[in-house]
Amino acid sequence: MAPSDSSPDAIKAARAESFARLFDAVHEGVYIGFVGPRDNVTIAANPHLRIMFGYPADTPEASLCPFDQDRFTDEGARTVFIDRLAREGAVTDYLLRLRRADGAVLWLEVTAHAEILESTGHVRIEALLRDVSDRKKLEDQSRDLYSQLLQAEKMAALGTTISGVAHELNNPLATILTWSERLAQRELDASTHRGVETILREAERAARIVRNLLTFARKRHTTRTLVDINQVARETLALRAYEQRVTNISVIDALAAGIPPVFADPHQIQQVLLNLVINAEHAMLTTNGHGTLMVRTWQDPEHESIILEVNDDGPGVPEDMRTKIFDPFFTTKEVGKGTGLGLTVAYAIVEEHGGRMWLTSEIGSGASFYVELPVAGSKLKAIAPGGLAGTSVRGGAGEIGRAPDLVAMDDVERAGRPGLGGAGIAGSPGAAGGAGAPGGGRVPAPRMQILGPAQGAGAPRLDSPAVLIVEDETALASAMGESMTDAGFLVDRAGDGEEALARLEGGHYDVIISDLKMPRMDGIQLFGALRERHPHMTGRIMFVTGDVIGTEAERFLADSRCRWLAKPFRLSELLRIAKEVMGAG
């Protein structure tokens, strides 16, 4: 059409030509046709619709049917879409998940106008289809990242709560352990002795659970070295070999040869692997009464890492549980069979080693847990959210197979303060006041009676070594004092740092055993006062405390180089370290 030709026919022809060019050139799918309950009739479809759905270039227009039943991935989605069009006459940015010609899935936003043909029940639609697959992927990744951030925040809050609970549990546990250990050493009838041994054993079990809680709640200091993951795997499987043999568990180890070492704590990595193996065994035995366990390793050069997989042929992990599997206290085991901390602790250990841990599972086809650790001297490369195929977010079940040793001097969480009291205590007024005391001061803790030719904190030093126990928990201090007395020490005690200084003004001690956290004057302040007033005693003090990792107490112990013992502890360990401190001082 020439610019001068403005006749209605010419304008109409030019308009049709322009619309045709636009129809072919637009980079979004355009579809015009009839959509019925079971069939479709295509009137027109532009070239980009062919490209979008992956049809060959020579596919006839009539064969381009984006709204056919077999294009929809979700059952019932087509019916809902057509009903909405028929009811409202139009849709805007309606999200559909459809299949391409090759079966791949794409996400589309559909904006369409519709008219109903009453005679046939078909809906005539004119639709614009926009491929939003990339945007949907980014949205999913953002959602995954948000979920991970929420999970991390929840874990941090739980860590703080659990740490506080563990602190409070550690002191009564220390008291139970020390008194039951003392009772176990006495002459008892067989029945009573068995009862005491049971109390001791169960208290130690409770202490291990507390340590597991603290491993989850705190960043830990570990002893790391170059570790052969294959060797750790072999040793772990050897620990379970007998149990697996008698319970009909077959084991396949597919350990890659020549993989480089990782820089890790071998005991903690074994703890992680042992937990995964025991959980897998439990899943298989509970469901089938037998099973096949596969442990394999390989190197991922792209991420400079070693990956360890534990696979079972059990029932798999239901989808609704995968988001909880690393959560504290979540367990699939029967009541009393698991604490729900195993995978939580394992996850924390792997994360502290700069690694990753994830799960893949299909119902009825078992589950695989993966532990990825950086090769020694490198760090893991970041993976985009959702980059681990088939991963689930964290969640936790199972009992830890191997807990840290009961007495680990740098591996326990600080508990509440044990108190003093019990047999061998002579209630005598002290120099310091307290609640209910004249002047509003704190009532002083009763001083422990010194057993020997002379008595009292100010008595001349005897041939037996003298110890001052500075502890504000009466029951624990009493057990400690009696144990030290049995070992040949002259024992005195104070309820806090101020009382300890008062005792030191009138007496001499070969060793001081002090809690770190106490009312009024704590252990750190006591050490500072000793450095000023009694510098010769700074080499004769040891501390008993809970976990100190990441606290001011950790820095203090590192700077002062004082020996310390973690609560709850064994009395034999307390005596050993006290004698070493006395000898070194």
DSSP string, 410-436: TS----PPPBB-STTB-----SS-BTT
Same domain, 357 and 466: no
Q: Decide which of 106, 131, 156 is a domain's last residue.
A: 131
Indicate whether 52 belongs to any domain: yes
Q: Are 372 and 380 in contact (CB under 8 A)?
A: yes
The whole-angstrom separation of Cα 205 and Cα 199 is 10
Last residue of a domain, one of 374, 406, 425: 374
- Torsional class of 366: left (φ above 0), alpha (ψ -120 to 50), beta (otherwise): left
Q: What is the pLDDT of residues 244-263, one digit of tens each?
A: 988 899 999 999 999 999 99
Same domain, 355 and 473: no
Q: What distance in Å separates the CA atoms of residue 81 and residue 90, rounded to the nearest whole number?
A: 10
Q: Is residue 410 part of a domain?
A: no
Sheet holding 123-131, edge to edge: 40-45, 29-35, 123-131, 105-116, 90-99
Domain-located, residue 186: no
Instruction: Say whether pLDDT at 458 is over 50.
Output: no
* 118 and 238 fall within a common domain: no
Mean pLDDT within 306-311: 94
User: 295 and 309 in contact (C-beta within 8 Å)?
Assistant: yes
Q: What is the Cβ-side half-sphere exposure of residue 281, based on CA atoms within 13 angstroms?
A: 21
Residue 470 and residue 567 in one domain: yes
The answer to which of 28-37, 422-431, 432-441, 467-476 has the lowest mean pLDDT is 422-431
Q: Where are the alpha helices (DSSP H) in 185-318?
A: 190-217, 229-246, 266-287
* Average pLDDT over every residue of 503-527: 90
* Residues 356, 450 within the same domain: no
Name which of 565, 560, 550, 481 is nearest 525 in CA terms: 560
* Structural domain boundaries, residue 16: 8-131
Burial 225-252 (b: 16+ CB within 10 A, else e): eebbbbebbeebbebbeeebeeeebebe
- 541-545 and 511-515 strand pairing: parallel
In a shared domain, residues 357 and 495: no
pLDDT of residue 218: 57
Indicate the number of domains in the chain.
3
Residue 509, token pair as written in the block: 């001690």
In this predicted structure, what is the pLDDT of residue 512? 95
> What percentage of residues in the chain have a pLDDT greater than 70?
76
Q: What is the pLDDT of residue 205?
A: 79
State the alpha helices, DSSP H only, in 58-115: 77-88
Q: Mark whether 568 and 487 lie in a shared domain.
A: yes
Cis geometry, peptide bond prior to residue 66 (ω within 30 degrees of 0)? no
Q: Are 449 and 580 in a shared domain?
A: yes
| CATH number where 559 lies | 3.40.50.2300
Quick one: 358 and 460 in the same domain? Answer: no
Q: How do beta strands 29-35 and 40-45 pair?
A: antiparallel
Confidence band for 9, pLDDT divided at 50, 70 and 90: confident
Q: Tell me the two tokens of residue 98.
A: 């459809």
Q: What is the CATH number of the domain that holds 63?
A: 3.30.450.20
**Tokens of residue 45, six digits:** 């479809």
For residues 58-62, average pLDDT? 85
- Quick check: helix, strand or coil at residue 97? strand
Residue at 567 is within a domain: yes
Q: Do 97 and 105 touch, CB atoms closer than 8 A?
A: yes
Least confident of 58-72, 78-92, 337-351, 453-467: 453-467
* Closest C-alpha to 385, from 69, 130, 142, 27: 142
Q: What is the pLDDT of residue 322?
A: 67
Report if residue 89 sits inside a domain.
yes
- Residue finishing a domain among 111, 131, 151: 131
User: What's the pLDDT tens digit per position in 475-499?
Assistant: 888 888 888 898 889 999 899 999 9
Is 408 a residue whose pLDDT tops 60?
no
pLDDT digits (tens, 9 = 90+) for 317-367: 877 676 667 765 555 555 334 444 568 888 888 988 889 988 888 888 889
Record the tokens describing residue 342, joined without a space.
Answer: 């195993």
Q: Tell me: do 471 and 576 sit in the same domain.
A: yes
Residue 540 lies in a domain: yes
Give the chain's mean pLDDT: 77
Question: For residue 448, is pLDDT > 60?
Answer: no
So what's the pLDDT on residue 439?
36
